[in-house]
A and B are shown apart, each in its own frame.
Chain A
Amino acid sequence: MLAPTIQSLVFGILIGGLFGLAAVGLSLVFGVTKFLNVSHGELLMLGGYTSFWLFTLYRVDPFVGLPLAILALVVLGVVLYKLIFTRMVKLSDETKIKNTMLVGFGLGLVLQNVALRLWTADDRGITTSYSSHVIQAFGVRFPVVRLISFAIAVVVLLALQLFLKRTYTGKAIRATVQDWEAATLLGIDIHKVYLLSFVMGAGLAGLAGGLVAVGYSIKPDMGLEWTLISLIVMVLGGLGSFVGTFVAGLVVGIAQSLTSLWLGGAYREMVALLLFLLVLVLRPQGLFGVKEG
């Protein structure tokens, strides 16, 4: 009985890392711009299909192709920002959250249907020569591709953290999060900061999607589920703490994996919702967040 539990714990952590990665992208955008982009999951899905296309059409190794998946989403991010989101920059915070959410909801549906036309409704995945490789340790199986994906997620998040803490641009972003008016007075061009963080969020979604396509599978209507997981992980972790968000990703991953084992896969979806409601009731600022004034 113990072995399957440990095994599913490991699987939960591995997928949880990707939950964390996806949620950090969403959280970065939300923290800086107060855009709640509920088409984040669809951006992730498109990142997955970019990797899938690169692999099936041009035989590009999925890990080598990741920068291209990121690039594709960065470009799409710029287009979406310039075309749509820039029009909502000046709204009040409350209206901004509401309108970006509505726009994201519509946009998500459009992207999903475009993907349906391009790639059909089938589940797709990337199967490389090393996809079935597994490392056995302590009686637990570690699929190699998922292990690498997890490691990439961790490294990228550490790099992001370093970027925000150490570089001038990173500090400008954090200053904007704290107080955009003060940031403007200090000569920070907040429009650039907004664009940059939105695009970084899209890029992170692209990366996460590429990783999902290698270790798991993708389909056009996966977006909503990933948006939801990202939103819940973001709330669970608390705003303003990427470490918290990542840990919350692991918590949700483990919780889902264990419920699948004990109650069956059908109720996996419910866990995230229950966690979300629990957080609302018990600790609205999230597990690691700072209580807002």
Chain B
Amino acid sequence: MTRKQVLTTLLGLVLIAAMALVPMYVKKDSTINLIVMVLLYVSLASSWNILGGFAGQVNLGHAAFFGLGTLVTRSLWLSGWPLWAAMLAGGIVPVLLGLLIGIPAFKLRGAYFSIGTLALGQVLYVIVGNRWPLITSLPVKYLGSYSLAPRYYLFLGVALVTVGAAYILMRSRFGLGLAAIREEEDAAESLGVSARRHKILALSLSAFFAGLTGGAFAFYHVGYYPQFPFGPVWSFDAVTIAFIGGTGTIIGPIVGGIFYVVLKELLALRLVEIHLTVFGILFVLIVLFLPGGLVEAWQKVRDAFARRPGRPKVGRPLPQGEN
């Protein structure tokens, strides 16, 4: 390992340790809830990124996977399953549904997959709203023992597992295959990379981690309408956060998640309508002018300094996640 890698690893470990200690030092529930939101969005955007960023396949209905994770986990957990088993099921069911769209759609190129996921998101949103119109609340026996710390740790765990999996994935041969498909599908195929198999596997992982995040949501919330996590806003949030941070990178969804939650709070735009308008415009601007997100912006700044006269010119880093 180079010195830089050692430093990065150390920094990561220190950060994780600090995150693990948060419930012991932070006594204000509202602060913990805020960090929970960051962790949720980081997991959600990272899971979207596995397919959307690494493989370049745009999923416009990620809420379907997230929502299904909440629905399955919540019902199984409340019916007496142990939480881990309920969450595992909540991760697997979205995968099956994803395959239903992915297997036929990935036979073809173009927008078919995006259209399919958009449709899936909308269909589930409507069906769940009709089938389960009533609010789901925790029964009294759970309410009495409700405490925030285990919820926090669950979200931290899900975020670590999702980001960790994305990291391992990106560094693997499989991850390189995905990047090759994203950049030039014909060339990738000609080198023996099966685009369809890669996309389907990436979709499965993406759906699994979105479902897992949904599971944590189901464990965390006291009461919500079952339809709520299926709302198109969640799909939009996942895509937006990945793009704000930088698609196709590990750090992107993390930076994006923090930025998203902090900006939302800072501006005190608590009304859903206003924050969506602001983020909608921001998202459009990023796709148009800064497709690599904050990560790209940072690289540009660094490059500008590296190219100052009198200093040796440093090779431009490979563009990551450019569309």
* Chain A residues with a Cβ under 8 A of chain B: 36, 38, 84, 87-88, 94-95, 97-99, 101-103, 105-107, 109-110, 113-114, 116-117, 224-225, 227-228, 231-232, 235, 265-267, 269-270, 272-273, 276-277, 280-281, 284
- Find chain A residues with CB under 8 A from B120 CB: 273
- Find chain A residues with CB under 8 A from B320 CB: none
B287 contact from A99, A110, A273, Cβ within 8 A: A99
B126 contact from A36, A87, A266, A281, Cβ within 8 A: A266
Interface of A (DSSP majority class):
helix
- Min distance, Cβ A19 to any Cβ of chain B, angstroms: 14
A109:B280 contact, CB within 8 angstroms: yes
**Which chain A residue lies CB-closest to B289?**
A87
Interface residue ranges of B89-120 to A (CB < 8 Å): 100-101, 104-105, 107-112, 114-116, 118-120
A103 contact from B119, B273, B277, B288, Cβ within 8 A: B288
**Which chain A residue lies CB-closest to B101?**
A277
What are 17 contact pairs spanning A and B, CB under 8 A?
A88-B288, A98-B58, A98-B114, A99-B323, A101-B60, A101-B114, A105-B236, A105-B239, A106-B284, A107-B280, A109-B233, A109-B277, A110-B277, A110-B281, A224-B118, A267-B127, A270-B123
Q: Does B147 contact A (CB under 8 A)?
A: no
The 8 A-B pairs at the shortest CB distance, nearest first, are namely A110-B280, A266-B130, A106-B283, A280-B104, A109-B280, A106-B284, A273-B119, A269-B126
- Min distance, Cβ A197 to any Cβ of chain B, angstroms: 18
**Which chain B residue lies CB-closest to A95?**
B323
B116:A116 contact, CB within 8 angstroms: no
In the complex where A95-B323, A113-B273, A232-B115 touch, is A106 in contact with B236 (Cβ < 8 A)? Answer: yes
B288:A276 contact, CB within 8 angstroms: no
A224:B122 contact, CB within 8 angstroms: yes
* Chain B residues with a Cβ under 8 A of chain A: 56, 58, 60, 100-101, 104-105, 107-112, 114-116, 118-120, 122-123, 126-127, 130-131, 232-233, 236, 239-240, 243, 273-274, 276-277, 280-281, 283-284, 287-288, 291, 323
Other contacts beyond A117-B273, A235-B115: 6, CB < 8 A: A98-B58, A103-B284, A109-B232, A109-B277, A232-B119, A269-B126
A277:B100 contact, CB within 8 angstroms: yes
A116:B273 contact, CB within 8 angstroms: yes
